[in-house]
Amino acid sequence: MSGERAAHLISVRRLRDDPPERLVLLDVRVGVDGPDRTSFRRGHLPGARFVDLDADLAGAATRHSGARPLPDTETLTAALRRWGIHSDSTVVVYDDSRAVPAARAWWVLRWAGLPDVRILDGGLRAWREAGGALVSGAEPAVPGTEAAQPAGLPVVDTAAVAALPGRGVLLDARPREHFRGDGEFAGHIPDAISAPVFDDFDERGLLRDEHSLRTRYRDLGLTAGTAAATYCGSAMAAALQVFVLATLGLDIALYPGGLSQWAADPARPLVRGASAAPRPVPSP
């Protein structure tokens, strides 16, 4: 595993047989009705703490904020300390939903200034398939000392998103049918490129090999030095795309408001239909 990939992704085998020192495990499972604390109590990785996706990793939504705005510093700091995180902790996050909630946790924690956060490759499914043990009940609280320091990862606002396609690449991480115009927030931001992030994973939910990923994103117009951002409906799938690109050593900004914020203003256009081919990107 390359250095960049290993810095953001951890295999079940490594976690089970050679876990990092100062490990903090976070379970970010989500059910049909929201954060899935019931499933956590029934069985989770030994030592894991439960993360409430909505209460811990998002702020209160307003009419113009988008569906899942960023959490405030005080709320996030309280969560970091409740989970037992210190400045030298290695945080491993997992879920059972194709890494989307885990990616939101990965992104928020990196944005909050934590230097070592990784996603468990394949999540809970891979752990079970490898014969990993699960435990039930709640984990004892061991307070941490870390404080959130937002700005660790780049973000863009609505104005920057509108201007980006003229000088760089704007990726839409949602499934192609949503990009074309089917489903919630149907359509896409003008000149965005369809780049469904789930194509980056195999049928078992494992991240595809580095060569395949580099080829894919190069074909989409994204290389080192390219001004780029990604969005989805509410900054979940887009956070996963930021993660995937981080494993390749490529930086891309997140639009936290997502299409839910963009579409809140009827004056902002939405385009329906297939994506055009990636355009030549001006030199930086």
Name residues whose C-beta falls within 8 Å of residue 150's C-beta, 6 or more positions apart in sequence: 70, 73, 76, 111, 112, 113
Find the length of the chain.
284
- Active site residue ranges: 232
Mind giving me the DSSP string for 189-239? -TT-EE--GGGGB-TTSPBPPHHHHHHHHHHTT--TT--EEEE-SSSSHHH
Tell me the residue type at 129. Answer: E
Contact 169, 228 (CB under 8 A): yes
Distances (CA, A) of 85 to 20, 120, 198, 273: 14, 17, 30, 45
**Backbone torsions φ then ψ of 195, nearest 5 degrees:** -145, 70
Q: Going residue by residue through the chain, which has 284 residues, state the pLDDT in tens, using 9 for 90 and above.
A: 789 999 999 999 999 999 999 999 999 999 888 899 999 999 999 999 999 999 999 999 988 899 999 999 999 999 999 999 999 999 999 999 889 999 999 999 999 999 999 999 999 999 999 999 999 998 887 899 999 999 999 999 999 999 998 899 999 999 999 999 876 667 999 999 999 999 999 999 999 999 999 999 999 999 889 999 999 999 999 999 999 999 999 999 999 999 999 999 999 999 987 655 455 444 44
From residue 58, how far is each of 55, 65, 118 by CA, in Å? 6, 11, 19
> What are the chain's domains?
3-129 (3.40.250.10), 158-262 (3.40.250.10)
The model's pTM is 0.94
